[in-house]
Amino acid sequence: MRLNRPRRHDIVGTLRRGRATGARRRTTVLGAVFAVVAAVAFGSNAGAQAATSEGLLCEQNAQQTFSLTARSGYISTPDGNSIYMWGYGMSAGNFQLPGPVLCVTSGRTVTVILHNDLPEATSMLFPGQSAVKANGNPAQPQFDSGGSLTSMVQPASAAGGSVTYTFTAGSPGTYLYSSGTDVTKQQQMGLYGTLVVRPATASAQVNDRADSAFSPQHEYVYLLSEVDPDVHLAVERNQPVDWSAYNARYYLINGRSMPDTLAPNNASWLPSQPYGALVHIKPYDAATNPLPAVIRYVNAGRVNYPFHPHGSDERVVNKDGRALQGTDPTAPQDLSYLKYDIDVMPGQTVDALMDWRDVEHWDPTTNPIPTEIPVITDQLLVGADTWFSESPYLGQKGTFPSNITVNNECGEYYHVAHSHALQQATNYGAAFGGMMTVFRIDPPAGCPTS
């Protein structure tokens, strides 16, 4: 897939075809906003080329020491909106959403130094880790002199404070880190990120079980969250927030909404949203491609996100950093299970292995499908571009009308994966957006152009 331009054109096309007059009105208004934001965003990155990068981008070092800064910035949404956010970024870097994916090894000490550039105190919680300390003292909830809770853990004070957290990395798996101060607001503003804890002896396994092995080139984090733009506007303008009117309008995977979720990591047109969510695999093959991909689901929001991958089940092997297994001391029983919808609760993490298996091997000459594909005039092509190949066969590509932008390279397959609370799979109500991404399955020999 060639993603060398902003995908916003696509979503505008989606809105147009959606014949939603209200949505169209919104697009017009937001279009003006977008023009301003685009000028700033692209201007500041003029000449920058995004590397075509997919999958998990780890922040890691031998000392397992990370210096993070909580600061404010902006993200953009596919319908052209611009949202004021707070987020964790590398202190040597810039604002980003979500926070960096910190990759560490189970059982070893981790140090996180938090600097606070925000106008209020903030902190970090590390659920699932052991011996968590703040500036050398046990991590503890904080109370004022009247006994009222002020923070769930020792914070860094506003506008320049800092605090150093240390902990021993917990059992292998995936964890959410997030603010423990003014949590309703700071979670909504974007203070969250993912901690990946790898087994001490086998880094390409989800946990200590050999049957949790995955292909290291096909490791993905899906950090799920949501945004009510009214809250963010109020905070940006230093106005009171009416939480009783809370209503999320944007639903994010790794800080992006569909179709921005398909853009590569570090896309230049998404300067503060560095993480993509495109899964890019080949069919399972016992000899040449035996290992599954892994998707690490993390819910940083306030409601369940029931995530539905099309086309293949996923095997849930880990929850909240713990292997799904029995209590047999010598050979713990396998309690993993297959799912076609992974309903992730707030604060929960779910690690799932996924592959795609060509069980039918449909072939136009040796094993043709027994139904007829309608001619192009009997199809409804939505929008001005498409991903599918006009062929049912993997690695085959049909012909398209010249007015269609074809994103399909070589007859590769595409399946969507999205929240099945379908209002979450929209951008402010417009379908084919929000908490949605795409799984790309290349032919076994790969795409010649990719």
Partner 1 sequence: MNDDPRSVPDDRADDRADDRADDHADGRPTRGGLGRRAVMLGGAGAIGSVFLGTRLSFGQPTQRPTVVRPAATGNVKSVHLVGTDGWVSMPAGSPPDLPFFPDSLAPDGFDTYVFGFRDVTQMSTAAEVAAVRGKAQVSAPMLAFDEGDEVTITLSNLGLLMRPDLFDGHTLHWHGFVNAIPLFDGVPELSLAVPIGRDLSYHYRPHDAGTYMYHCHFEDVEHVQMGMTGMVFIRPAQNRTPVNGDPIGTKYAYNDGDGSTRYDREFAFMVTELWSAAHYRDAHIQVSDWTDYAPSFWLLNGRGYPDTIAPPGDPRTTAAGRLQYQPISSLIRCNVNETVLLRLSNLGYQNHAFTLDNVDMQVVAKDAALLRGRDGTTNYQVTNTVDIGPGESRDVLVTPRRAGEYLLYDRNYAYLGNGGGTGWGGMMTVLRVGAAETYGPQTEPNT
Name residues contacting partner 1, limited to 290-319 (CB under 8 A).
304, 306, 308, 310-313
Residue closer to partner 1, measured from CB, 180 or 434: 434
Q: What is the nearest approach in angstroms of partner 1 to the Cβ of residue 343?
A: 3
Rounded to whole angstroms, the maximal C-alpha distance in the chain is 80
Contact 362, 392 (CB under 8 A): yes
Among 9, 20, 208, 410, binds partner 1 (CB under 8 A): 20
Q: How far is the CB of 374 from partner 1 (least distance, A)?
A: 6
Residue appearing with tokens 């099945």: 420
Stretch that binds partner 1, among 37-45, 72-80, 264-272, 376-384 (CB under 8 A): 376-384
Query: Which residues neighbour 246 within 8 Å (Cβ) at sequence distance 6 or greater?
Result: 228, 231
Q: Which is nearer to partner 1, 247 or 449 (CB)?
A: 247
With CB under 8 A as the contact rule, the residue among 127, 392, 395, 444 that binds partner 1 is: 392
404 CB contacts (<8 Å, ≥6 apart)? 381, 384, 385, 386
3-state secondary structure (DSSP) of residue 37: helix
Strand-pair partners of 293: 354
Q: Which of 449, 447, 446, 432 is nearest to 78 (CA)?
A: 432
Beta carbon of residue 322, minimum distance to partner 1 (angstroms, whole number): 15
- CB-nearer residue toward partner 1: 185 or 339: 339
51 three-state secondary structure: coil
**Minimal distance, residue 286 CB to partner 1, in Å:** 15
Determine if 339 is a binding residue for partner 1 (CB under 8 A). yes
Nearer to partner 1, 58 or 422 (CB): 422
Which uninterrupted H or E stretch holds 230? helix 229-236
Length of the chain: 450
Phi-psi region of 249 (alpha: psi -120 to 50; beta: other; left: phi over 0): alpha
Closest distance of CB 63 from partner 1, Å: 38
222 bridge partner residues = 297
Task: Please identify, using beta-carbon distances, which residue of 240 and 370 lies nearer to partner 1.
Answer: 370
Contact call for residue 18 and partner 1 (CB under 8 A): yes
- DSSP SS3 for 10: helix
Beta-carbon contacts of residue 443 (< 8 Å; ≥ 6 apart): 282, 283, 394, 395, 410, 411, 412
> Does the footprint of partner 1 cover residue 391 (CB under 8 A)?
yes
The reply on whether position 378 binds partner 1 by CB under 8 A is yes
- 59 vs 334, which CB is nearer to partner 1? 334
d(CA 158, CA 172): 33
Q: Residues 388, 414: contact at Cβ < 8 Å?
A: yes
Q: By CB under 8 A, is residue 388 in contact with partner 1?
A: yes
The verdict on whether omega for the bond into residue 98 sits within 30 degrees of 0, i.e. cis, is yes
The minimum distance between CB 384 and partner 1, in angstroms, equals 11
Q: Does 19 bind partner 1 (CB under 8 A)?
A: yes
**352 near partner 1, judged by CB under 8 A:** no
User: What six digits make up the tokens of 57?
Assistant: 């981008």
Q: Which of 5, 22, 53, 445 binds partner 1 (CB under 8 A)?
A: 22
Distance CA 423, CA 115 (A): 36
Using the rule CB under 8 A, is 360 a contact of partner 1?
A: yes
Specify the amino acid at residue 180. G
Give the type of residue at 227.
Answer: V
The DSSP H or E segment spanning 67 is strand 65-76
Nearer to partner 1, 181 or 407 (CB): 407
**Position among 380, 401, 403, 449 found at the interface with partner 1 (CB under 8 A):** 380
Residue 144, helix vs strand vs coil? coil
* Smallest gap from residue 312 Cβ to partner 1 (A): 6
Shortest Å, Cβ 330 to partner 1? 13
Listing DSSP states for 163-195 in one string gives: EEEEEE--SSEEEEEE--SSHHHHHHHT-EEEE
359 in contact with partner 1 (CB under 8 A): yes
Taking CB under 8 A as the criterion, the residue among 42, 246, 362, 400 binding partner 1 is 362
Considering only 32, 35, 233, 382, the residue that binds partner 1 (CB under 8 A) is 382
User: Could you say which residues in the range 317-336 bind partner 1, by CB under 8 A?
Assistant: 326, 333-336
Contacts to partner 1 from residues 399-438, by CB under 8 A: 413-416, 419-426, 428-429, 431-432, 438
The mark string for 188-227 relative to partner 1 (x by CB under 8 A, - otherwise) is: -----------------------x----------------
Residues 228-287 that bind partner 1 (CB under 8 A): 247-249
